[in-house]
Amino acid sequence: MQALPIELAKKSKALVLCSSGLDSVYNLIKAKNDFLKISVVFFDYSQKAEPQEYVHVKKLCEALKLDFIKIDLPWYRGIHSSLLSKNLQITKFSSVNEADESGKPAEWVPNRNGVFVNAAAAVAESRGYNFILIGINKEEAGRYPDNTAEFMERSNKLFELSTLNHARLLSYSVDMMKNDIFSELLELSAAMGIKNIQEYIWSCYDSYEKMCGVCESCLRLKRVIKEHRQESEWKDRFLR
């Protein structure tokens, strides 16, 4: 994250965009420690994972006694993406490094983070929040252009014109790999007295009883779980 003096954070309020994925949960926990007050924003854009994402974000907010704001974007239902359309299958990755050289990833949701941060900026200004936290990371930046430091910088330039309070977009994880995010999250959650952080995380692109274990998002999470020798703690969280 671009340097933000802790003294400023302790006097400021922030909105945290949270989908219950590893990156956004990490940013939520970090922001809870740093900011005077945070509220959590969850987007329902008709994504296949919405039922489980909603349950997990709501559960974490209740555990941490945080304000919860749900924003519905029903018109996204007509956008072409495997994460949205019932007629398109979510890719089963054999490796998290696979890339579709023929074009955009099937899991790409057009302008999703662009819509999210602009909607959040409107909420932030109307409710007196000057900062917005988003869970993006260095590992996925090459695959998804709205997951980059450049995306954040350009969004902040836009906010200078589209908001009167000049809301500022931040991310603790923008320069981090999943492995480092996972490691820090384990430490932070333990220090906050949060047991079984895995109960609050849903990183799957779909919404089964358990995470599928074979989509891109699941495989990235499973890799860092294995690297940290946490398989026993997460063994009941995946279908495969």
Does residue 103 carry a pLDDT above 70?
no
For residues 217, 220, 225 and 207, what is the CA-based torsion angle, rounded to 10 degrees? 10
pLDDT at residue 99, as a whole number: 47
What are the extents of the domains in the chain? 8-234
pLDDT tens-digit map of 176-203: 999 999 999 999 999 999 989 999 999 9
Does residue 101 carry a pLDDT above 70?
no
**Residue 24 DSSP SS3:** helix
Count the residues in the chain: 240
- According to the CATH classification, is domain 8-234 in 3.40.710.10? no
Let me know: does 20 contact 40? Beta carbons within 8 Å.
Answer: no
The model's pTM: 0.94
pLDDT tens-digit map of 142-181: 889 999 999 999 999 999 999 999 999 999 999 999 999 9
